[in-house]
Amino acid sequence: MRRFSSYGPVDSRFHFSVERRQLVENCVSQLVGEPDEGGHYFTIWAPRQTGKTWIMRRAIEEVRARYGDRFRVGTFSMQGVVVEDDDSEEAFFKFVPDLFNLAFDGEAPMPQDWADWTRLFARERGYFDRPAILCIDEFDSLPRKVIDRLVALFRNIHLHRGGYFLHSLALVGVRSVLGVDSPRGSPFNVQRSLPIPNLTREEVTDLFSQYQAESGQVVEPQVVNAVFEVTRGQPGLVSWFGELCVEKYNPGPAEPITPAVFDEVLNAALTIEWNNTILNLVAKARGPYLKHVISLFTDPNVPFALDADWCTYLYMNGIIDTAVQPEGAKSKRPVCRFSSPFVQRRLYTALTGDMFGEKGPILAMEPGDTLSDVFLPNGLCVHPLLERYRGYLKRLKARGIDPWQGQPRRADLHLTEAVGHFHLYAWLRDALQERCLITPEFPTGNGKVDLVLQADGHTGVIEVKSFVNMFVLQKGHAQTAGYAKKLGLSEATLALFVPVPEAEIPKAIGGDVEIDGVTVKVVPLGWV
């Protein structure tokens, strides 16, 4: 029986896969172009583990099947080409014979310089005896110096293609193939590119239908829908969740895969399961544009712009995606969103630990506090927790400890809005520990954090926001009430970080608000 695979390109003989026929046909069309005139020089780009290599291989199979020996078709990967920045050109040339010999099954000479490299593609006394189709995978792994030289030479071959046998060329990668890292720009017209989109809901359903048909085990529709929603169809993550659900956390072949199984899988994926793609993504988020990542947790209106270095970096590395502002917004401009709810939750947890650690510098709760007004026999009453949090901040100040020292600040020296959100979450984890499950939820993708607390079958919710103005606050009241109603709750708490000292917070900001039968308890917190 086939399996789900989240490690490297899938093989439909051994792994569950979807055909993605339109994408494959598009790639074939780009490679072949006009068979008698020439194909296209283009880029295939997407974040890691999204199916770039699989699409490329499927397209090459199709070209070979349809055109036989008309073209010499080959592909090689730069991943194994170990070249340091020093002496990079000479070191790269040493790999060329093996790359060409494996791709095209023929003896290729080792270039001595870039002129020799170009002559490999020449019609007169070159390496090829007929039009060649070449795909270069993992193009980004080369040093910047080599990439710049290669794209310049390929551009020149493209402009003078009558003298060369290079019929078409596909450069496959994450970022460099678009030229966003290079002052030279893209190797070709950026419009001649093939982005790889995520799987659709129907394609995710198809994957699990294949598993059910081959295994005979039922995967309940809610599970399939949850996998799609939490991953937004990112191919590597979909396959990883499929693998966890039907293998490691499978209750047994006679039992269905239920939402309870998925909940266990999701919790494990967030806390204890290793995934190289996610680890790489978290490392990238901790990189040079960390302050931008942090800001996205509280601002839902950050414009999406590929002209901004930070935006292209986060986008091409799979941290963010683009979305159009929702109904009711005055503008329909593209804005930044995290690439998936799962990615956002992993980043939220990781960055909370980075900023504030797993334990605070003093006890999170006063000794002897039993929280009897929070954990009630008939439910959870969460707003008293925020009074404890306010007391915790006062105790820190009395000890001369500033929790905001060294945390990200804006150009005007005010704290970045997300800092308070992260700190409250860190304190709740420390204060409640194993007594309560605390789950961050992000209903809008950015700009709105709900902390869902669950204990003994009871649920409470704290929405976390920063004060902007009264109009935005009123919208926050409605959002909080709507989410509480969705959970079947008659009460919810709005933790409102106000960028002024505690003593200067206007009383009109706090208090209870009744909306559609839900009581929203607004607790303002001074934050400077």
> Per residue, what are the HEC states of 390-415?
HHHHHHHHHCCCCCCCCCCECCCCCE
Query: What are the C-alpha distances in Å from 214 to residues 9, 19, 208, 209, 382?
Result: 21, 17, 10, 9, 47
Candidates 86, 226, 201, 62; CA nearest to 135 is: 62
* Nearest alpha-carbon partner for 302 in 280, 278, 331: 331
Please check whether residue 375 is in contact with residue 453, taking contact to mean a CB–CB distance below 8 angstroms. no
Q: Give the relative orientation of helices 259-271 and 221-231 as an angle to the nearest 10 degrees.
A: 30
Q: Collapse the DSSP code of 306 into the 3-class scheme (helix H, G, I; strand E, B; otherwise coil) and give the result.
A: coil
Strand 437-441: give its sheet, edge to edge: 437-441, 449-455, 458-466, 491-498, 518-526, 511-515
Q: For residue 230, is pLDDT > 80?
A: yes
* Nearest to 134, CA basis, from 83, 81, 195, 59: 59
Q: Give CA–CA dist 153/181, Å, rounded.
A: 17
> Mind listing the pLDDT tens digit for each residue in 390-414?
999 999 999 999 888 888 777 777 7
The predicted model scores a pTM of 0.85
Residues 485, 487, 489, 492, CA torsion sign = negative
The predicted pLDDT at position 174 comes to 63
Find, among 472, 521, 528, the residue nearest to 502 by Cα.
Answer: 528
d(CA 298, CA 278): 22
Q: What is the pLDDT at residue 407?
A: 83
Return the SS3 of 454.
Answer: strand
pLDDT of residue 362: 94
Q: Residue 482 above 80 pLDDT?
A: yes
Whole-number pLDDT of residue 336: 92
Domains defined along the chain, listed by start: 21-195 (3.40.50.300), 201-273 (1.10.8), 281-526 (no CATH)
> Residue 384 CB: number of other CB atoms within 10 A?
15
Span of 64-73, 166-175, 224-233, 279-288 with lowest mean pLDDT: 166-175
Q: What pLDDT, on a 0 to 100 scale, did the predictor assign at position 181?
A: 53
User: What are the tens digits of pLDDT across the range 436-474?
Assistant: 999 998 877 777 788 999 998 999 999 998 888 899 899
Taking residues 235-253, report their average pLDDT: 96
- The average pLDDT across 144-155 equals 87
How far, in Å, are 35, 100, 141, 144, 220 from residue 84 at the CA level?
38, 21, 11, 10, 50
Q: Which two tokens stand for residue 327?
A: 């109904």
- What are the tokens at 489? 């709750």
Given a contact cutoff of 8 angstroms between Cβ atoms, the answer to whether 374 and 385 are in contact is: yes
**pLDDT > 90 in the chain, percent:** 59
The one-letter code for the residue type at 27 is C
pLDDT band at residue 180 under the 50/70/90 scheme? very low
pLDDT score, position 189: 52
Short-list 412, 430, 175, CA closest to 287 = 175
Instruction: Look at residue 64 and give its three-state secondary structure.
Output: helix
Q: Which helix (H) or strand (E) holds 269?
A: helix 259-271
227, 262 Cβ separation under 8 angstroms: yes
Among candidate residues 470, 485, 49, the one with its CA nearest the CA of residue 243: 49
Assess contact for 346 and 278: CB atoms under 8 A. Answer: yes
pLDDT of residue 87: 65
DSSP helix/strand/coil, 40: coil
Cα angle 468-473-478, degrees, rounded to a multiple of 5: 150
Model confidence pLDDT, tens digit, residues 80-105: 887 766 667 888 999 999 999 989 98
Query: Which pLDDT belongs to residue 176?
Result: 46
Q: What is the pLDDT of residue 284?
A: 94
The end-to-end CA distance of the chain, in Å, is 59
pLDDT in tens, 286-319: 999 998 999 898 888 889 987 888 998 898 889 9
Q: How far apart are CA 294 and CA 310, in angstroms?
A: 12
Q: Is the pLDDT of residue 349 over 50?
A: yes
Residue 478, pLDDT above cutoff 60: yes
* Distant-in-sequence, close-in-space partners of 460: CB < 8 Å, separation ≥ 6: 379, 380, 381, 382, 452, 453, 454, 489, 491, 492, 493
Rounded CA separation 334/277 (Å) = 26
**pLDDT digits 0-9 by tens, 104-145:** 988 899 999 999 999 999 999 899 999 999 999 988 888 888
